[in-house]
Structure 1
């Protein structure tokens, strides 16, 4: 395990709380031992962990299962991964896990301690989408993990393509109010294959019966704005202004809506 000094130095360097660095570091070790499982990393954590170095931090680990998986088998595999991550890293992961089923799959909170010995432990939430609840349209890639810490944690992870991550992020804008989706769509706009992403987006929206409708985003502007700083403030050193990001995303999504209806 890296020394406490390194965690504190990284927190100062990136302008985030020490707990953000602790969680990010623990995520990598957990990912290493989850990587043999047949599931693909996605979302903001997928962006940070394999595609864009020093991207915004993320609290959760989001995956889509690539096969149907029984809850008991899933628990056995997760317990094994947590045990191995604990042994390999020295991080004090809690061995006891509870798997909560939801409409899309499974949610598993994992608790750990690094710097703090008392008080509330840190939490990493695993969010696993069942294979039948999501349509993966582009090839799942295998990428080297980005590990900006001094110990050795080298491995490859199965991950969505950047275009598929972007497509799901845009769709999510019309399913929920999470400022990180807005930020990710803005940031990735010029970093993806636009044609490939659009074809994926329209198919994914059809799969979930979601409509790309700019007016619905405009109706919820204040909701996104009110949650902007609280949601992203601990994940970035310099948070861009909400209106700047929002206006550009509205313009981008307006183009996607027009193309989708043409």
Structure 2
């Protein structure tokens, strides 16, 4: 069984190793290990620790890490080993791995949280993000079975699309959107866009018969599709990689991008990155505007050579995909 003392011992061993191998320190006086009884009558823990980097800040402003530790949550799917995401030059070789929820379990757990917490901003964002960008990695039938098991464990009726949607407090969601997410997500899209997608973000795996059809890939796109990158690269501030990171981030959030290409400012919807036999790297977009005027290419896909793109800035304008987003 887990206890406060055992948690403290594990923390001490872990942070001591981190302190020896990095410039971080973890002031022990700031550690808090709170033990409480959860709604199911079992013992759980909330742990908070602070840390300080090489540029030591004021004690009250130190960043914190929070752990929620439970001993009785229902884990349905098999955990998976995942690489620790770390794109800095001091990464270890081999890359450390950690046991994580499967993507199916994450989606089921987030959907259960969406219902129980009445649509908190983080839950809404995560469910929509998985729906948009991870469908090829998700097994809908498995998610459905996991969700049923999790709802049953919490003594909640088996989930339906209507049941989950009806539980969401949209007024509170709208009021808290910026406050809860803007410090975590740069260029945060509007909440209305996410509210409009919620029904399909749940229906496609829970009740596929009522889900909207998925757009097809751009038929005229030539070449091998570039591997998708789901997580941003750290430390990139300029150059071609920075431009591509900006475009990917916009695509994931369904935001248009203002691209400077061949001396003109072009507002585009980003869709796909391809490698044709010519050896070029090609970005396929829907060009909405050129120099502030509606583009004459708005009704069909347009191809840009990425090495000829001078800049990319995420705009406030959102889009509903005409074709499948593959970035």
By the TM > 0.5 criterion, same fold? Answer: yes
The answer to whether the 8 A contact 1:83-1:95 is kept is no
The answer to whether the 8 A contact 2:78-2:101 is kept is yes
Provide the secondary structure at the position in 2 that maps to 1:136. coil
CA RMSD of aligned residues (A): 2.0
TM-score, length of structure 2 as denominator length: 0.54
Equivalence for 1:137? 76
The alignment status of 1:243 with 2:177, answered yes or no, reads: no
The alignment status of 1:94 with 2:59, answered yes or no, reads: no
**More strand as a share of residues:** 2
User: CA offsets per residue over residues 115-170 of structure 1, 9 Å max, x none?
Assistant: 3432421111111122x2x1111111112111022212431101110110111100
Q: Cα gap change, 1:256/1:206 in structure 2, threshold over 3 Å: closer, same or farther?
A: farther
**More helix as a share of residues:** 1
Pick the structure with greater CA Rg. Answer: 2
The alignment status of 1:188 with 2:130, answered yes or no, reads: yes
The alignment status of 1:179 with 2:121, answered yes or no, reads: yes
The alignment status of 1:217 with 2:167, answered yes or no, reads: yes
Equivalence for 1:231? 180
Deviation at 1:215, TM superposition (A): 5.0
The answer to whether the 8 A contact 1:214-1:257 is kept is no
Return 5+ residue gaps in structure 1 as ranges. 1-67
The answer to whether the 8 A contact 1:171-1:210 is kept is no
Between 143-152 and 245-254, the greater mean CA deviation after superposition: 245-254
Equivalence for 2:98? 157
The answer to whether the 8 A contact 1:100-1:106 is kept is yes
Q: Cα gap change, 1:256/1:209 in structure 2, threshold over 3 Å: closer, same or farther?
A: farther
In structure 2, how many angstroms separate the alpha carbons of the residues matched to 1:98 and 1:202?
35
Instruction: Tell me which stretches of 4 or more aligned residues in structure 1 moved more than 6 Å.
Output: none
Provide the secondary structure at the position in 2 that maps to 1:92. coil
Equivalence for 2:17? 84
TM-score, length of structure 1 as denominator length: 0.66
Q: RCO greater where, 1 or 2, for CA within 8 Å and sep 6 or more? A: 1
Aligned residues: 189
The alignment status of 1:202 with 2:152, answered yes or no, reads: no
In structure 2, how many angstroms separate the alpha carbons of the residues matched to 1:146 and 1:257?
30
Return 5+ residue gaps in structure 2 as ranges. 39-43, 209-327
Provide the secondary structure at the position in 1 that maps to 2:90. coil
Q: Cα gap change, 1:258/1:163 in structure 2, threshold over 3 Å: closer, same or farther?
A: closer
